[in-house]
Amino acid sequence: MQKLTLITGGHHSLGLAISKEFAKAGYDLIITYHTKEDLAKKAREELMSTYHINVDIFKVDLSREAETFNFTKLIKEKYSSLDVLINNAAYTVEEEFNEKDISNFSKILSVNTIAPFILTKELTSILSNNSAVTNIASTNGLDTYSPLTLEYDASKSALISLTHNLAIALSPQTRVNAVAPGWIATPSTNAMSPIYQEKEESKILLKHFATPEEIASVVFAVSTQFTYMNDAIIRLDGGVNNAR
């Protein structure tokens, strides 16, 4: 039977690199987007014509719980079986501590933590035997904290905690893991000042940010090939020198 993967935010940046890994292996794809409809349509066309797979795109605001629930209802009506769920979409704001407000915190938690929970829980009934859920966390959820992104950091710590509990709840039918990248060379990190990028790169033992492809290949392997990997948090930061 044709295998199917759902990737939130699978239309650009790291998400698109993950979509390509699955497409290369012949998986059909469901991709969610929020604001970038043009990129979602473009990704759909390119993935379908290059890899000869089917790609369905859905606009979903994962910060709205009712919308996320409705989306899962639609997916269960349309598809009888899902092999892989990749919780990739995320939201963040960078603000000074004094400027922080609760509404942003709430939105960040909704997109980064609660939506992965809703999607996983509501789609469990169609997850196939030997299926996988892979959450895209961050080293910010482990130990590279910054007050500028404290809500994001908390949301990724919570996603890591959620990964452990979902692994317990869903095993042995579904393996649940998280990949926790450090810096990735994406359009958003490429927009940072060159001086800041150089400073951050100098701390990395491999001396460069990860390419999206380097992270995506691990996400694919964890989700489909490493069949004994379960309840694992895979740190992918190139090695960081924390010596003072």
Ligand X SMILES: NC(=O)c1ccc[n+]([C@@H]2O[C@H](COP(=O)([O-])OP(=O)(O)OC[C@H]3O[C@@H](n4cnc5c(N)ncnc54)[C@H](OP(=O)(O)O)[C@@H]3O)[C@@H](O)[C@H]2O)c1
User: Residue numbers of the site for ligand X (CB under 6 A)?
Assistant: 9, 13-15, 33-36, 60-63, 88-91, 111, 136, 138, 181, 183-184, 186, 188-189
* Nearest approach, Cβ of residue 1 and ligand X (Å): 28
Residue 84 beta carbon to ligand X: minimum distance, rounded to whole angstroms: 16
Report the residue number, 3 or 36, with the smaller CB distance to ligand X: 36
CB 54 within 8 A of CB 27: no
102-109 long-range contacts, Cβ below 8 Å, gap at least 24?
A: 104/151, 105/151, 105/154, 107/63, 108/151, 108/152, 108/155, 109/151, 109/154, 109/155, 109/158
- Is residue 91 within 8 Å of 64, Cβ to Cβ? no
Provide the minimum distance between the beta carbon of 60 and ligand X in the complex, in angstroms, as a whole number. 6
Looking up tokens 């691990």 gives 218
Least distance (Å) between residue 206 CB and ligand X: 14
Which residue, 130 or 190, has its beta carbon nearer to ligand X?
A: 190
Query: Is residue 81 helix, strand or coil?
Result: coil
Instruction: Compute the least distance from the CB of residue 180 to ligand X, in Å.
Output: 7
Name every residue whose Cβ is closer than 8 Å to that of residue 238 and which is 6 or more positions away in sequence: 182, 204, 205, 206, 207, 208, 209, 210
The residue among 129 and 193 lying less far from ligand X, judged by its C-beta, is: 193
Q: What are phi and psi of 216, to 5 degrees?
A: -60, -35
What gap in Å lies between CA 109 and CA 86, rounded to an integer?
17
| Distance in Å, CB of 211 to ligand X, minimum | 11
**Segment (H or E) for 115:** helix 115-123
Would you say 54 or 211 has its CB closer to ligand X?
A: 211
Nearer to ligand X, 58 or 79 (CB): 58
